[in-house]
């Protein structure tokens, strides 16, 4: 895809890397099915294109957060199994049935609503049940699973297609809650009719076969994020570059940016790039006296941030970058070969998930197909 001469930032999505990561995670899952989590527009990478590439790689099951996301996935994957994680509400049954989308039922009230709809619809449609095993976020607590187990007519009203839970601390392999949740999950699973089971998220895949059950859910690691402490991430899927808008010189003692929070200690050549917090580059990545900010790279040369990150602009110190390289219109790497999503997140005091899902919708997107890998 040619670069638009008016583009001020460029977000490159490498579907070849995405597919390679899927195959690696699938291999780690062994005999378990490897489903893909494609919520939040496939973690900001573009859900339709991502799903089409994953379909070609053999992925048959997908998880999203909302029904609206599921509708988008359905247009790209007509026959795939699609689960909606975040809520089933009374009155929404016809929409799920019409597009063969499966709700994940996280409370006894949701189970009763889905069962009532299936009876009215005249068909035992599939759904998943999500049990809480210690995260205290979503899922049926133990008492509700016990109550459900005692109501066989309720369970008979629909097809229990999947029993699942979510690990809270899988990114720390030695965290004791992992084993606690595994034990709780096995106990709750045994209360209900036999069906496929799923516990492992991306990090959980690396905890070993005991956590895999019938299906694993590949999420952040699929997109090149570091899913578990001490383990190198898989292939990077995204790259973000921004264009230099202006180059100018400033004198020692002058300030840079809003709030005058950084005073120049030497004559400085400044490059202003067209990227900011409206593009997902968090304000915490700015620089001030006593604190370094993000570092951009221009053809491998470091260009540290100066002053605050603005809504649409960031200023960089290019004093030590050759003038022929640091010039108006040149591209600056913000995420790429030198800085990973997780590197940027650590510097910002957050996690790679937030950085990845916040990246600019204003950037020109260049999607590299699996055949380009």
- Would 257 be classed as within a structural domain? yes
For the residues of 94-119, what is the DSSP string, one character each? HHHHHTT-EEEE-SHHHHHHHHHHHH
- Would 358 be classed as within a structural domain? no
Average the pLDDT over 206-211 and give the result. 96
**pLDDT at residue 288 in the model:** 93
Crossing angle between the packed helical segments 47-56 and 15-28, to the nearest 10 degrees: 50
Is residue 353 among the annotated active site residues? no
Q: Look up the pTM and report it.
A: 0.94
Q: Are residues 242 and 164 in the same domain?
A: no
Is residue 373 among the annotated active site residues? no
Q: Which of 22, 39, 83, 297 is catalytic?
A: 39
Q: Which among 245, 242, 262, 238 is positioned nearest to 343, based on CA atoms?
A: 238
Residue 345, token pair as written in the block: 């997140």
- Would 216 be classed as within a structural domain? yes
User: pLDDT, tens digit, for every residue of 241-290?
Assistant: 999 999 999 999 999 999 999 999 999 999 999 999 999 999 999 999 98
User: pLDDT, tens digit, for every residue of 296-332?
Assistant: 999 999 999 999 999 999 999 999 999 899 999 999 9
In the predicted structure, residue 229 carries a pLDDT above the cut 80: no
- Would 230 be classed as within a structural domain? no
- Would 348 be classed as within a structural domain? no
Q: Are residues 145 and 216 in the same domain?
A: yes
Distance of alpha carbon 199 from the chain centroid? 18
Q: Which among 61, 48, 46 is positioned nearest to 11, based on CA atoms?
A: 46
CA atoms within 13 A on the CB side of 243: 14
**Domain end point (choices 223, 246, 265):** 223
Question: What counts of helices (H) and strands (E) characterise the chain?
Answer: 12, 18
In the predicted structure, residue 38 carries a pLDDT above the cut 60: yes
Average the pLDDT over 95-101 and give the result. 97
Crossing angle between the packed helical segments 142-149 and 108-121, to the nearest 10 degrees: 30
Place of tokens 């099951």: 61
Q: Are residues 145 and 271 in the same domain?
A: no
Q: Are residues 175 and 255 in the same domain?
A: no
Quickly state the pLDDT bin for 361 (edges 50, 70, 90): confident
Q: Are residues 60 and 93 in the same domain?
A: yes
Q: Are residues 171 and 212 in the same domain?
A: yes
In the predicted structure, residue 1 carries a pLDDT above the cut 90: no
Q: Are residues 193 and 246 in the same domain?
A: no
Q: Which among 213, 192, 193, 189 is positioned nearest to 201, based on CA atoms?
A: 213
Average the pLDDT over 98-120 and give the result. 97
State which residues form the domain around 50: 16-223
- Would 94 be classed as within a structural domain? yes
Point out which residues pair with 104 in neighbouring strands: 128
Q: Are residues 217 and 295 in the same domain?
A: no
d(CA 342, CA 202): 15
Q: Which of 83, 112, 226, 258 is catalytic?
A: 258
Exposed e or buried b for every residue in 325-351, given b needs 16+ CB within 10 A?
A: ebeeebbbbbbbeebbbbbbbebbeeb
Distance of alpha carbon 344 from the chain centroid? 15
Q: Are residues 100 and 181 in the same domain?
A: yes
CATH number reported for the structural domain that contains residue 255 in this entry: 2.40.37.10
- Would 163 be classed as within a structural domain? yes
Q: Are residues 218 and 252 in the same domain?
A: no
In the predicted structure, residue 153 carries a pLDDT above the cut 70: yes
């Amino acid at each position: 895809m040619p670069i638009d001469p008016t583009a001020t930032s460029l977000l490159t999505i490498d579907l070849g890397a995405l597919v390679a990561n899927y195959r690696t995670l699938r291999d780690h899952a062994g005999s378990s099915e490897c489903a893909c989590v494609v919520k939040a527009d496939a973690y900001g990478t573009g859900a339709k294109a991502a799903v089409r590439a994953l379909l070609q790689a053999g992925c048959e099951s997908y998880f999203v957060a909302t029904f609206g996301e599921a509708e988008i996935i359905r247009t790209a994957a007509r026959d795939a199994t699609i689960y909606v994680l975040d809520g089933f509400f009374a009155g929404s049954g016809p929409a799920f049935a019409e597009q063969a989308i499966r709700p994940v039922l996280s409370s006894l009230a949701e189970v009763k609503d889905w069962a009532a709809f299936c009876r009215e619809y005249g068909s035992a449609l599939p759904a998943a049940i999500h049990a809480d095993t210690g995260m205290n976020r979503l899922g049926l607590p133990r008492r509700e699973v016990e109550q459900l187990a005692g109501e066989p007519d309720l369970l008979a009203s629909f097809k229990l297609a999947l029993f699942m839970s979510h690990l809270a601390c899988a990114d720390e392999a030695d965290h004791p809650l992992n084993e606690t949740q595994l034990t709780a999950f096995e106990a709750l699973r045994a209360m209900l009719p036999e069906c496929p089971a799923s516990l492992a998220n991306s990090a959980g895949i690396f905890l070993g076969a005991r956590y895999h059950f019938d299906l694993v859910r590949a999420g952040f690691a699929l997109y090149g994020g570091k899913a578990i402490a001490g383990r190198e991430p898989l292939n990077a899927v995204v790259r973000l570059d921004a264009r230099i808008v202006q180059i100018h010189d400033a004198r020692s003692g002058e300030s840079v940016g809003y709030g005058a929070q950084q005073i120049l200690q030497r004559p400085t050549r400044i490059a202003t790039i067209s990227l900011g917090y409206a593009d997902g580059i968090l304000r915490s990545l700015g620089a001030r006296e006593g604190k370094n900010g993000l570092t951009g790279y221009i053809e491998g040369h470091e260009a540290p941030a100066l002053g605050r990150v603005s809504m649409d602009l960031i200023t960089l110190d290019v004093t030590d970058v050759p003038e022929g390289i640091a010039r108006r219109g040149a591209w600056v790497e913000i995420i790429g070969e030198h800085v990973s999503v997780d590197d940027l997140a650590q510097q910002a005091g957050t996690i790679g998930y937030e950085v990845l899902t916040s990246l600019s919708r204003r950037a020109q997107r260049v999607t590299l197909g699996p055949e380009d890998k």
